[in-house]
Amino acid sequence: MMRIALLGTGAMGTLFGVRLARVAEVWMLGTWTEALEAARQDGLRLMTAEGEETARVATAADPTEVPPCDLALILVKTYQTERAAQWARQVLQPDGIALTFQNGLGPLETLQEILGPSRALQGVTTMGTTLLAPGHARLSGTGSIWLGATSLNSELLERIADLLERAGFQVELHRDLQGVIWGKLVANTAINPITALFDVPNGALLERSDLWRLARGVARETAAVARAQDISLPFRDPEGFVAEVCRQTAENSSSMRQDLRRGRPTEIDALNGAVVGIGRRIGIPTPLNEMLWRWIKTLEEQRTRVLCPNLPRMPPPWVIAPRLERARS
């Protein structure tokens, strides 16, 4: 049986933990002690439309406690990627693979730097999950997993796709890694900051014409930055795709809304901030992305300063964008 390390104890960690425990030996590794304790005491719990599923997984707060794993799923926030990658290197077998499902630009490059280019893979998912309590999440809506294949890793990805399908996920393999990453970015840049600022669930963007006009404008801007770099998106119509994700996750609170409410740093720098940084460099205007980036930054700084004063800060997007490009070239 495959042994999998889950790096991340939040809503996505809980979703993947419960599903993968059906087909693999799962170790949840993280620093959030309440979540590890809840998993140890009651198991991980996932609420879905069909009812609640509970799964027993092994837990560890220190990578040295985890036996060698075949696969590490990276499910932490973007600003925690570096530590997660170091931990993945410690828990993986020498030929073990890390697969990130994180939002935004940057995590894959960090994993590739730390583990080597052939041992880091990228997936994205449009499934919406909400954390209800430590170790307890709700899957709010449907959605699938896209895995981005290159000619070097397609066989490996097929095996991972098979594992995820057996665990109950809907999986699609796409032959274009950057297209997969930017496809998800179109949805995240349009949905996450607006739902966080207006404190609404994802479905509200379809119900309120003022919010939808803004979301549609952001989706078009992000798609324009992708196309200007010759990245072919996995859909024709960016707004149609964003509308579809909002429909499928209508009841869900976006991860940025959940972060802001809990006074945690958001992923805005790796989402709208990264689009602004790249747009500036290649001469594509991104005024809506920039406005949302600045608003969220201001709110985030006010809230995290009060609630979580010691959390790390990311450099601004125009510092991150050139770094990303250097890593990619």
Positions marked active-site: 184
**Cβ neighbours of 241 (radius 10 Å):** 21
Note the helical H segments in the chain. Answer: 11-20, 33-42, 81-91, 107-115, 154-166, 177-197, 204-207, 209-228, 238-248, 255-261, 272-282, 287-307, 317-328
**Interaction of residue 266 with ligand KPL, rule CB under 6 A:** no
Label the pairing between strands 92-100 and 171-174.
unpaired
Q: Are 276 and 286 in contact (CB under 8 A)?
A: yes
Among 9, 112, 178, 252, binds ligand KPL (CB under 6 A): 252
Question: Is the CB of 59 or the CB of 192 nearer to ligand KPL?
Answer: 192
As a three-state string, the secondary structure of 239-289 is: HHHHHHHHHHCCCCCCHHHHHHHCCCCCCHHHCHHHHHHHHHHHCCCCHHH
* CA atoms of 200 and 251, how far apart (whole Å): 9
What is the total residue count of the chain?
329
Among 14, 80, 100, 103, binds ligand KPL (CB under 6 A): 103
Interface pattern 123-152 for ligand KPL (x via CB under 6 A): ---x-x------------------------
Select from 78, 178, 202, 266 the one that contacts ligand KPL (CB under 6 A).
Answer: 202
In the set 80, 249, 286, 289, which binds ligand KPL (CB under 6 A)? 249
Question: Least CB distance from residue 167 to ligand KPL, whole Å?
Answer: 19
Q: CB of 257: closest distance to ligand KPL in angstroms?
A: 8
CB of 323 to ligand KPL, least distance (A): 23
Question: Interface with ligand KPL by CB under 6 A: which range of 32-40, 90-98, 115-123, 185-193?
Answer: 185-193
Range 182-198 burial, b when 16+ CB lie within 10 A, else e: bbbbbbbbbbbbbbbbe
Of 105-113, 169-177, 188-196, 304-312, the window that binds ligand KPL (rule: CB under 6 A) is 188-196
| Residues contributing to the site for ligand KPL (CB under 6 A) | 103, 126, 128, 187-188, 191-192, 202, 245, 249, 252, 254-255
